[in-house]
Amino acid sequence: MVDSETNLGNASKSVQVKLVLLGEAAVGKSSVVLRFVTNEFQSNKEPTIGAAFLTQKCRLEDRVLRYEIWDTAGQERFHSLAPMYYRNAQAAVVIYDVTKASSLDKAKSWVKELQRQAHPNIVIALVGNKIDLVRPLSLSLGFTPHPDSEEEADDATATPDGTTSGDAGPVCLRQVPREEAQAYAAETGLLFSETSAKTGEGIVEVFTAIAKKIPIEHIIASSRGSVGRFDVAGSRTVSQEGGVNLDEAAVKGTSSCSC
């Protein structure tokens, strides 16, 4: 089911939700949010400088949520700017690369910082991105099944960086087991998901899960009397907006996204 902009505007309440993306450089933060907002993927996306700003609307039951998304730069030199972006945020998506173990360590440090300094009721989702690059589980665990044919074995050739390359493109060893990251998320009270910004797998579900956890009534109550639109001096603003319908089908895992 696809909703038009008019149908979205007819919902009984519209709620603005400030959301920040955090994570190490090159884990795919910008690609994740671009896939969510425009349903596009850019293979050679330039690194974010400072932060980029995007918006996306979604409907959950009788509410229209307007995500105001701050996509922060992952380079260490921009770390000190992060509090400007996660201050007063109602939600955060902390992203790591499933093929790079150190990126999960960085994600954990971001989670600790958010839990220490951000809003006490912030909804945090831990997201492992780039699952399209991962080999089958058996290869990730360190043993190689016998190929079905010699031709299949010849199709996959080793590369100097430890990846393999075949007709489907390069694949990498998984360095972060799903079970490990999921257990950490459960221990620390986070939402958890694995995604591929390249294929779109799991992207809508991440933002749907966040929407269901947001204390909407509390936001409405606290926003009464507030004026003006949040902005951060010195950021690179990218205004992109689309519409997405997140109904019960999406909540159960069937995407009804119309970006």
> Which tokens go with 189?
């009270």
Average pLDDT over residues 159-182: 73
Strand partners, 129: 97
> What sections of 120-191 are H helices per DSSP?
137-140, 150-155, 178-188
Contact 197, 129 (CB under 8 A): yes
> Which tokens go with 233?
């001096």
For residues 148 and 137, give the distance between their C-alpha atoms in angstroms, rounded to a whole number. 17
For residues 255 and 257, give the distance between their C-alpha atoms in angstroms, rounded to a whole number. 6
Highest-scoring range by mean pLDDT, 135-149, 150-164, 191-205, 216-230: 191-205
Q: How confident is the model at residue 149 (pLDDT cuts 50, 70, 90)?
A: very low
Average pLDDT over residues 42-55: 90
Residue in 99, 102, 97, 101 with CA at minimum distance from that of residue 164: 99
pLDDT, tens digit (0-9, with 9 covering 90-100), for 87-110: 999 999 999 999 999 999 999 999
Give residue 46's pLDDT. Answer: 85
Give residue 61's pLDDT. Answer: 79
Average pLDDT over residues 36-59: 91
Give residue 219's pLDDT. Answer: 73
Q: Does 170 or 255 have the greater pLDDT score?
A: 170
Give residue 251's pLDDT. Answer: 34
For residues 203 and 222, give the distance between their C-alpha atoms in angstroms, rounded to a whole number. 29
Give residue 172's pLDDT. Answer: 85
For residue 110, the one-letter residue type is W
pLDDT, tens digit (0-9, with 9 covering 90-100), for 188-242: 999 999 999 999 999 999 999 999 999 887 777 676 655 444 444 333 333 344 4
Q: Does 52 or 219 have the greater pLDDT score?
A: 52
Give me the phi and psi of 250, to 5 degrees please: -65, -40
Domain covering 5-133+176-225+234-251, topology: Rossmann fold (3.40.50)
155 exposed, middle or buried (CB, 10 Å; 0-12, 13-18, 19+)? Answer: middle
pTM above 0.75, yes or no: no
Contact 154, 75 (CB under 8 A): no
Does pLDDT of 63 surpass 70? yes
Contact 153, 147 (CB under 8 A): yes
The domain limits of the chain are 5-133+176-225+234-251, 135-173
Q: How confident is the model at residue 62 (pLDDT cuts 50, 70, 90)?
A: confident
For residues 90 and 214, give the distance between their C-alpha atoms in angstroms, rounded to a whole number. 7
